[in-house]
Structure 1
Amino acid sequence: MKLGRFKDKLTSVITGIFRIKTKIRLKPISDLRKSGGEWISDGNDPAFLIEGNFFGGWNKISYFSQSEEYIPLKLYWDIGEGFSEKDSKVICAILPGSLKYEQFIYIPVGTINLRLDPGERELTFGLENLYFRKTTRLDVLLASFSRILKERGGGLVTFKNIINKTYRTYKTQGLKAIWRKAKSTLGIDSETSAQAYQIWIIQNQLSDEDKLKINREVEQFTYKPLISIILPVYNVDEIWLRKCIDSVINQIYPNWELCIADDASPKPHIKKVLREYSERDARIKVVFREKNGHISESSNTALSIAQGEFIGLLDNDDELTIDALYENVRLLNEHPDADMIYSDEDKISVEGERNSPFFKPDWSPDLLMTHMYVCHFGVYRTSLVKKIGGFRNGLEGSQDFDLALRVSELTHNIYHIPKILYHWRTIPESTASGPGAKNYTHYAGLKAVNDAIQRRGIDGYIEELEGYSNFYRVHYNNRIDSLVSIIIPTRDGVLLDQCLSSLTKTLLDKKYEIIIVNNGSSLRDTYLLFEKWKSILKDQLKIITVDEPFNYARINNVAVENASGELLLLLNDDIEVISSNWFDDMVGQAVREELGAVGAFLIYPDKTIQHSGLTLGLGKQRAAGDGHHNRPITDPGYFGAMLSVKNVSAVTAACLMVKKEIYLKVGGMDENLSVAYNDVDFCLKLRSESYLNIWLPYVQMIHHESKTRGDDLLSNEKLIRLNKEALYLQNKWGNILLEDPYYNPNLSLDTGYALNIEASLIK
């Protein structure tokens, strides 16, 4: 057996070195027939058996296809046990139109048969000229590097940036992280991949019928404000400048003006192009500055000629989608109080290929203090922008970040449009080509956040993140003298001693009490442990007994009745503290008037992520889940989500700090949820009272969860209970569980932060 596996692996290596290419034949075995050169599926289980030579390991599949719709292609492999769902994967797709397609795939070494299933319904398509070319892992890495370089505009500067970032990733996250990134870039094993996004684009592109419908809707708008697009220009290549201006001219919504300020560009084509456009369309207004003043002054010049009730910010090499202004005015007709609006965005290469979509959360004030996530397309009420003095000098490179921070201090009427309305051009000198392209933007952003702290009177400091430009963490200092009640339920907890030891080492000069809730312990060692810690902590330790069947919500509610602290920390007995400053960091946040629950970064002992904030509706139960669960702790997450202080809908009660006053105000925990989702329900009650919940990446603790309760999905009894409690939560909160404001509807509820390819938000 071992000799056979060695032979298969050796064959895989040798064939990969020589890049052996073989033609594949498709033999229909279920619900398929050929007619006039097309394949027709007559049922819900179409399947081909793949005939021809193939080799285990990395391969590149190529084929020609024709279709009028998107059809996933699912590969099944038989390693001697027959075909089954567990040995299958969607590897690529037939896309609408006629095209040649190539994709890297992995065939497990030892595979003896392959099956290919095109969709799961009746359909018609063309699929021919299938080839497998044997490749290697190195081919995958090189192809990924090439694609990233192309997407970011090419050039020596971009090349160096990618090399530097790859090296930083290797140093901080290891080779596995580089491999994951390579596979994701090429659409291998990843629903967030470039391939998935191209499918999403097809699903969401505007048809001619959609455009006619939008035109009719625009005519019916009762509110048609003038939108002034602010466009500072400096020395941009003619091709990108024209594409930028054309994207405004092509807007479906007609009531706009384009306010252009040329910042004394030395390239002669700039004046020629701008004069040409201004003469062609009276809505285009141009000011030619006599002296270069950089982007803040140039933007202010454009702002000075703006007559619109709202301004929109556009960079001189980027593009708006055809419906960008329509979507904003549509929102304004529904929410005329809106003062600040932002949308989702993607990047566009010099070849016009769209990539790297950023599907953003709704308004998250703490996330904005971490990085400029609102970015493009930003629309602001003109009167507010002028009230704060427009764009500030000295913030060049992050002047829009500074603007967003200052505007958000004057209004709560901030709205998010969960649609791609802006294409950010990736050329070597653009910040879109990577965080290293303009390092000065990081320091400008740092000043913007620091100034915001000063204006808001925040007693705190900023932490910069090594290796990550344009990300900042604001720590709130703990200046209060409030008692914190730390509540730890236990039942013969084998890790309780470790938990208490790690806690008390970091609490030497802190004001706290620990309440151990004994819920049915029976071991003598447990009671000896109670005595040990009582002798150490004396009056700082209370031990209360809840002699009832396990009900986590009930246990904590009883403990809160016995708590003397103004702040509560709900803590599992299998938590091990590893952040030395966790107490001050959590207290500094928890005392903020607007905050409800404060959560921590919980880590499994194998250094993977257990908790990074809960997403409503995520997972099989459609109750709540963690979008980064089981990823390595070094993974920066979706657009830096694991680096960021961020607002979330819920945090786990395995480590949750909250004011006692508001715990009681919302009625504590719902005792109908004895084991699961009581923390989700509690956080939703806080949210319904207009409190914000927050997750702190710098408060890190090890959660030895698997050593206590175990996995909820391991037994039928636990699964039945889990489903019952999920159903209770769904009946109580309804559609709120499917509409998490901090999780974009374009993202999947099956797999955290994967693309929801079926999403179609344009209709």
Structure 2
Amino acid sequence: MPPGWYRLTYDAHHSSGDGLFVPKIYPLNALEKDLSFQITFPKGYGSNNAVTRFLKRKQKQAKQSKDHSALSEARKTEDQLTKPNDTPAVTDSDKSTVSSASDDHKTTDTFILCSSDVTTPTVPVINLRPHLPGQTQHLFRYGFEPKGFRFDPFELDHPKTRQPFIGAFQLNDFRLTFLGVIPFLIFSARQAIYRAGRGERLRRAQIALQLLKKKGKTALMSWLGHKAYLKIQPPFSPTTWYKFFCDPNCFDANRTDWVEDLTVQPSFSLFLFVGESGPKLLSDTVNSVLCQSYSKVELSIVTTSSSQSEVIQQANLLAKKHTNIRVMRCEYEDFRQALDKDKSDFICLIESGDRLRPHAVARLASALSSDGTDLAYADEVILTTSGRRIHKVVLRPAFCLDHFLNHPCIGLMTAIRRELLTTGEALTDCTSVEILNERLILDALISAQKIVHIPDLILERLSPSTAPSARRLPASSISKFLKNHAFMDATVRPTSNPGLYSIRYNNPLPGKTAIIIPTKNHHEILQIAVDSLTRTVPKELYDLVVVNHESDDPNTVAYLHEIAEVHRVVDYQGVFNFSKINNFAVTQLDGAYDSFLFMNNDVQAINAGWFESMRDKLGRKEVGIVGAVLLYPPDSKAKGVGVIGDAGAFDPSERLSDQAGSHSETQEVTLLADLPKCKSQHAGVHLGVGVAEHYLKFEQYQKSYLAGPGLNPAMPNLVTRSFSAVTAACMMTRADIFKKLSGFDEELTVGFQDVDLCLRAGNEGYKVLCDAEAILFHHESVSRSTDDFLERDPHPQDTSNFRSKYEHDIGRDPFYHPMLANTTPQYRPLRSIQQGQFLSGRVVTNLALQPYRTQAD
């Protein structure tokens, strides 16, 4: 193989639904077995081309030195590749890989492969661009040994995927084409300049000439190679993911069977608010409505006093041209008048610039066909202001009223049954289409029976230009809604994160809460937990019950005697069974408490208010269980101890010894300052990854309530909302519910007893919430490898029992989107999507807000 530019093409497929191809080219000495394949050389450029000269030169060298070794060739290649302006022509979009080039026109991303068990010298490795399944092509500059190279479609060390590929893959039509100077210039100039578009061609041609003049041929070819590679194989991004999703081979948006079997096809009125937008945005939205595969759709273009005269004129022309389009003048606060004149079954709000996918209304009609379903919403993508790239993919969970009140989890193009909006108060608090949409949904929720979420991307929206606070109902409107549901003392407070509200229902549980902590040995861990409770929880709100499971460490025994003077310590004898231990503790309380908090001995409270927040949520009749957000401490490195405490390898007191007995506000501020450095350990439990997994596990903690917007715009806001389950490392429930459910299932001795309890509570009609304002440290190891977490099972018997009991629920969690990864706790969309994964909607019964006890009591 001569050094130079190559074009590699193939058709890639794999058996996994979540695999990303991350190809690399290694030197031949990294190959376990010699392989041979044909290289295509362009023809028609004469006999004195680069290939012919290269082959003649190598034949001559072979005669002079028959013992020519791959080792010397590799060293020579390394020297060549480290020369200025002469780096391999490959670009990698992943910033985690170390780059070897600093030039603005670099087209290479290489790193040095150096392993202790490899005897060969360090050599460069060419990173090709990660890609999804399908037709793929790469462009790179090769400089390794002439015998060939190793091509690995999933890379050897998988640092970018965070999860090794498991399954079968296939590469078809694998073709490698050498591009000499002239073929390369023709190919790259066509891709980089000609296909750039009219407005960009001249600018890029000028750049190419400037590079050739000032930096020479090598710089020009590197720049052309970089731009051409970007064109033929764009970096993996939300834009490429969405393009892959919209491919008919992945999802056929033109299919008509969504509504073929419906006995009654509901009618829809789409209200398109023009606002201050221009004619182009209006045309884009109208065209997307006219292309709907569902026929029973009417479009009302709504103009306001701020609308441009040119847009109003265009709207009138569209109404004359199409019989299903009408134009009306209506301000946001007067929208009820428009609703009174409408005769459709369901209404949806959109605005200029929104683009509906062809099957959008058909999906809504299909989901709303069942009896009692009054609201339906789906997912969307947020485009950049240019409308060419995807800024964010919004994948929503099943409906939760807490989520909606804290932070609107439902956007535009939500179908609302019109009958639910015939009466209501004036819309004086509505100043934008988003606020109007939120207000109409809030009004409909008063009487709505069922809400369905459709796991499908049906709407494309431009990034909003207004502040989040200008797109939300004022806090006073949410407070009024709560007062209408008998929470007369409820407070709604805006947070420092615009558009996010902190809500207190102020209908707390009566009496104290019993905090139950099982423990064995390792008194220093228990002491941190106990002291953090003393520091953060008012003593009149709780009694502490420590369950001693056969501790035999003298220091632990002494500490238990010490705290027994203030708190209650009960002894439990027998084989470790987490369910039995906690059930036993409850029986020792003789019904003296209305609520329990089950807590691990390695959990540490951070700041005051978390306990009151959890009790506040549990003061609602429809809420059965409340969990907390648990974080790994900022420097968590050692192995976890857990409840049993027999590992002995982890001692959090090394870092937190100064915290024991400290009740100062300074300590609390210090702990809060550490939060941006922490990773999430638990923010709810879902049945979408493995058997059951923690939501956002290992992800950087996003301080939704405490500070400004999260660090990662692609991450969802971490707010209080429903989950299928929460962990018993910090779980609060009422005594009557715990008794009704007969406590923890003692057949589950070590694992899943908390998930099982929550699922049974959900089956009884209770909500399970994870309180995002209750934040604690969980001193469990964050350094445990995530590579084999699906295969690593510390309690196989419990897993088998749980799986057989909930086989129809695993993988079908309504609060975990089916398009999210199912092989890793990492929050990201699936890399490969099959249409059957998200055909059915997730229906949630609207559980009305109810105080557990009336405030008159």
TM-score, scaled to structure 2 = 0.66
**Structure with the greater relative contact order (CA < 8 A, sep ≥ 6): 1 or 2?**
2
Residue 398 in structure 1 maps to residue 435 in structure 2? yes
Of 503, 506, 515, 2:545 maps to: 515
The equivalent residue for 1:340 is 375
Q: Which amino acid aligns with 1:740?
A: D
Deviations 1:182-216 (A, max 9, x none): xxxxxx9xxxx9625523532443469946641x5
Tell me the CA shift for residue 25 of structure 1.
8.0
Does the CA contact (< 8 Å) of 1:95 and 1:199 recur in 2?
Answer: no
Residue 549 in structure 1 maps to residue 595 in structure 2? no
Residue 256 in structure 1 maps to residue 297 in structure 2? yes
In structure 2, the gaps of 5 or more residues are: 9-24, 43-72, 93-108, 141-148, 155-167, 181-229, 635-676, 704-709, 840-857
Map 1:674-693 onto structure 2 (within 5 A): 674-693=749-768
Distance in 2 separating the partners of 1:59 and 1:369: 53
3-state SS of 1:61 partner: coil
The equivalent residue for 1:242 is 283
Q: 1:609 to 1:265 in 2, by over 3 A?
A: closer
Of 233, 240, 251, 1:198 maps to: 240
Distance in 1 separating the partners of 2:529 and 2:291: 62
Distance in 1 separating the partners of 2:714 and 2:259: 34
Q: Which amino acid aligns with 1:582?
A: W
Distance in 2 separating the partners of 1:451 and 1:212: 44
Greater shift after overlay, 506-515 or 628-637?
Answer: 628-637
The equivalent residue for 1:67 is none
Larger Rg: 2
Map 1:76-475 onto structure 2 (within 5 A): 78-80=113-115, 81=117, 91-93=129-131, 115-117=151-153, 120-124=169-173, 195=237, 197-206=239-248, 210=252, 213-214=255-256, 218-265=259-306, 267-288=308-329, 293=331, 295-297=332-334, 299-300=335-336, 302-333=338-369, 335-349=370-384, 350-388=386-424, 391-396=427-432, 398-426=435-463, 431=464, 433=465, 437-438=466-467, 440-441=469-470, 444-458=473-487, 459-466=489-496, 468-475=497-504
Distance in 1 separating the partners of 2:37 and 2:560: 73
Of 694, 704, 722, 2:795 maps to: 722
Q: 1:464 to 1:701 in 2, by over 3 A?
A: same
Q: Which amino acid aligns with 2:568?
A: K
Distance in 1 separating the partners of 2:430 and 2:348: 21
The equivalent residue for 1:13 is none
Q: Which amino acid aligns with 1:339?
A: D
Distance in 1 separating the partners of 2:788 and 2:715: 35
The equivalent residue for 1:155 is none
The equivalent residue for 2:832 is 758
Does the CA contact (< 8 Å) of 2:688 and 2:816 recur in 1?
Answer: no
Tell me the CA shift for residue 320 of structure 1.
1.0
Q: 1:22 to 1:589 in 2, by over 3 A?
A: farther
Residue 593 in structure 1 maps to residue 662 in structure 2? no
Map 1:28-67 onto structure 2 (within 5 A): 33-34=37-38, 54=81, 61-62=90-91
The equivalent residue for 2:598 is 570
Residue 649 in structure 1 maps to residue 685 in structure 2? no
Distance in 1 separating the partners of 2:787 and 2:299: 60
Tell me the CA shift for residue 678 of structure 1.
1.5
Distance in 2 separating the partners of 1:34 and 1:439: 57
Distance in 1 separating the partners of 2:712 and 2:376: 25
Greater shift after overlay, 260-269 or 678-687?
Answer: 260-269
Distance in 2 separating the partners of 1:199 and 1:570: 42
Greater shift after overlay, 677-686 or 637-646?
Answer: 637-646
Tell me the CA shift for residue 116 of structure 1.
3.9
The equivalent residue for 2:822 is 749
Q: Which amino acid aligns with 1:757?
A: R
The equivalent residue for 2:682 is 612
Map 1:575-586 onto structure 2 (within 5 A): 575-586=603-614
Distance in 1 separating the partners of 2:309 and 2:788: 73
Distance in 2 separating the partners of 1:342 and 1:209: 19
Distance in 2 separating the partners of 1:642 and 1:439: 13
Q: 1:687 to 1:24 in 2, by over 3 A?
A: same
Higher strand proportion: 1
3-state SS of 1:286 partner: strand
Tell me the CA shift for residue 483 of structure 1.
2.3
Q: Which amino acid aligns with 1:587?
A: R
Tell me the CA shift for residue 379 of structure 1.
0.6
Does the CA contact (< 8 Å) of 1:518 and 1:543 recur in 2?
Answer: yes
In structure 1, the gaps of 5 or more residues are: 1-20, 39-48, 64-73, 103-112, 132-187
The equivalent residue for 1:182 is none
Greater shift after overlay, 268-277 or 569-578?
Answer: 268-277
Tell me the CA shift for residue 514 of structure 1.
1.6
Of 722, 725, 742, 1:667 maps to: 742
Distance in 1 separating the partners of 2:152 and 2:179: 12
Q: 1:249 to 1:594 in 2, by over 3 A?
A: same
Distance in 2 separating the partners of 1:122 and 1:208: 19
Distance in 2 separating the partners of 1:281 and 1:656: 58
The equivalent residue for 2:557 is 527
Cα root mean square deviation, aligned: 3.9
Q: Which amino acid aligns with 1:263?
A: T
Does the CA contact (< 8 Å) of 1:650 and 1:679 recur in 2?
Answer: yes
Does the CA contact (< 8 Å) of 1:260 and 1:302 recur in 2?
Answer: no
Tell me the CA shift for residue 317 of structure 1.
1.9
Q: 1:262 to 1:368 in 2, by over 3 A?
A: same
Does the CA contact (< 8 Å) of 1:395 and 1:445 recur in 2?
Answer: no
The equivalent residue for 1:626 is 695
Tell me the CA shift for residue 558 of structure 1.
0.6
Tell me the CA shift for residue 312 of structure 1.
1.1
Q: Which amino acid aligns with 2:809?
A: I
Distance in 1 separating the partners of 2:40 and 2:7: 18
Tell me the CA shift for residue 649 of structure 1.
1.4
Deviations 1:555-610 (A, max 9, x none): 00111111221100101112221121222211111221111211112122214234
3-state SS of 1:369 partner: helix
3-state SS of 1:656 partner: strand
Distance in 1 separating the partners of 2:111 and 2:682: 34
Q: Which amino acid aligns with 2:588?
A: N
Does the CA contact (< 8 Å) of 1:602 and 1:609 recur in 2?
Answer: no
Q: 1:714 to 1:499 in 2, by over 3 A?
A: farther
Q: Which amino acid aligns with 1:557?
A: N
In the alignment of these two chains, the number of paired residues is 627
Matched-pair identity in %:
21
Tell me the CA shift for residue 91 of structure 1.
4.5
Distance in 1 separating the partners of 2:788 and 2:328: 71
TM-score, scaled to structure 1 = 0.74
Distance in 1 separating the partners of 2:522 and 2:605: 16
